[in-house]
Amino acid sequence: MKRNVYLKKTDWKVALQMLHDEFSSIFPLNAEKIAVEDSLHRITTAEVTALLSSPNFNAAAMDGIAVKAESTFGASSSQVKKFSIGKEVELIDTGDPIKNGFDAVIKIEDIVIIDEGIVEVRRSVPPGKDIRYKGEDFKSGDCIIPKNHCIRPVDIGAMLSCGVLDVEVRRKPRVSIIPTGSEIVKPKEKPELGEIIDCNSYISECLVKEWGGIPERCPIVRNDKKVIKQAIEKVISRNNIIIVIAGSSAGEEDYTVSVVKEMGTVIVHGVDLMPGKPVILAKIGDKPVIGLPGYPVSAYIILDIYLRNLMAMALGTPPHKRMKIKVVLNEDINSRLGMDEIVRMKLTRRNGRVYALPLKRGAGILSSLVRADGLLHIPKDEEGVNAGGEVEVELIKEFRS
């Protein structure tokens, strides 16, 4: 039986560094100019500065009358001053411009309108009282948001208020996802014996969306070197990152590595991480290619590490960090020396502490990932962790109770 040379296990963090080194010259992607109103969650490629001041004129901050502050000096409840409306003072609503000559607002509660033309004032106000000055919020030229910033709803509001209608943002990374395998079929209700429903391409597609990219989920291709090669050739020029699902190991019918070798360079084949070991990290032309293991938990872990980082590089941002919490282990967990392991954990809160139970550890047990609240990382130089010990778990689900 022909076999490829079995994959050499690279330290998974070194593999990540190799990926960084290899693609730091082509990422981040270029900028594109889009309408600010469409820019939610996009990443800025340059500082955005105000084109207008906001507010753009001195404005009343209250409903009331605009006055010359000086003219009110000395007014009090025992010494009422009267002003002629439209001449000495002017009725004004919140947001109205303050006309030349006026420099303060007296709010409606502090005046009495005697008749159509006369207002009584019973207090004095200092210059500037209840005026929103031009540029009080943003001055023309001010930085609104910095470079490499993920645009939020309030940022959009601030840009529009400052007359900024277009913004330069990072192009979204386009990721092609190529599921392979003669036994793999599209999701269906009644698969035949031996057929395996493709779930990895859908999980990949959703993760690409969550991480700010545009996925292209390609049709399933059968396990045939020529066909896999054609599938990659078809999409490589229009996408920034290529994912080939399955066939990444070293079995007789695992063609991905040989296809990738023919088309480009294999950077890493195999890492010291479980699940996730039989991964391929490669380069075809100047595009990164990830050969994903077929077991869904392995696939997920690999995407979560390598694709997430590649996409962050493409977007010019640090990869999103998950929250970590300290938990107490409910039972012993043994782990293989020489392999980092990621264990899916179910958490429960009891008497103010959080307890963690490991779920099934097979790379094919997607339910462990669905049911887990968090991930426990056991380093390769540890044989495991003991019940009662405190460890840190990365949350993958909102953990409430």
State which of positions 254-293 bind its own copies (CB under 8 A).
none
Among 148, 330, 367, 384, binds its own copies (CB under 8 A): 367
Residue 101 as a binder of its own copies (CB under 8 A): the answer is no
Q: Site map for its own copies, 4-43, x if CB under 8 A?
A: --------------------------------xx--x---
In the bound state with its own copies, the residue whose beta carbon lies nearer, of 14 and 197, is 197
Decide: is 316 part of the binding site for its own copies (CB under 8 A). no
* Options 198-206, 345-353, 374-382, 386-394: segment touching its own copies (CB under 8 A): 198-206
| 364 in Cβ contact with 200 (< 8 Å) | no
Question: How many other CB atoms are found less than 10 A from the CB of residue 333?
Answer: 23
Site string for its own copies, 177-196 (x = CB under 8 A): ----x-x---xxxxx-xxxx
Binding marks (x or -) toward its own copies, 59..88, rule CB under 8 A?
A: x-x-x-------------------------
- CA angle, corner 149, sides to 143 and 152, nearest 5? 90
Shortest distance, position 285 Cβ to its own copies, whole Å: 28
Contact call for residue 152 and its own copies (CB under 8 A)? yes
Among 4, 94, 309, 348, binds its own copies (CB under 8 A): 94
Among 8, 47, 57, 84, binds its own copies (CB under 8 A): 57
CB atoms within 10 A of CB 388: 10
Per DSSP (E only), the strands in 213-275 are: 214-217, 241-245, 265-269, 273-274
Smallest gap from residue 173 Cβ to its own copies (A): 17
Determine the interface stretch with its own copies among 17-25, 52-60, 71-79, 329-337 (rule: CB under 8 A): 52-60
DSSP symbol at 163: T
- Residue whose CB is less far from its own copies, 67 or 329: 67
The minimum distance between CB 317 and its own copies, in angstroms, equals: 10
Report, in Å, the least distance between residue 40 CB and its own copies. Answer: 5
- Pairing, β 214-217 against β 166-170: unpaired
Please state, as a whole number, how many other Cβ atoms lie within 10 Å of the Cβ of residue 78: 6
End-to-end CA distance of the chain: 53
CA atoms within 13 A on the CB side of 394: 13
Q: Cα separation of 108 and 401, whole Å? A: 51
User: Rounded CA gap, 79 and 71, in Å?
Assistant: 13
- Least separation in angstroms between residue 193's CB and its own copies is 5
Minimum separation from the CB atom of position 332 to its own copies (A): 23
Number of H helices, E strands in the chain: 9, 28
Residues 6+ apart with CB under 8 A from 108: 62, 63, 64
Parallel/antiparallel/unpaired status of strands 184-185 and 196-197? parallel
Give the residue with the Cβ less far from its own copies, 21 or 320: 320
- Pair of tokens at residue 198: 């493709």
Selected from 23, 27, 83, 300, the binder of its own copies by CB under 8 A is: 300
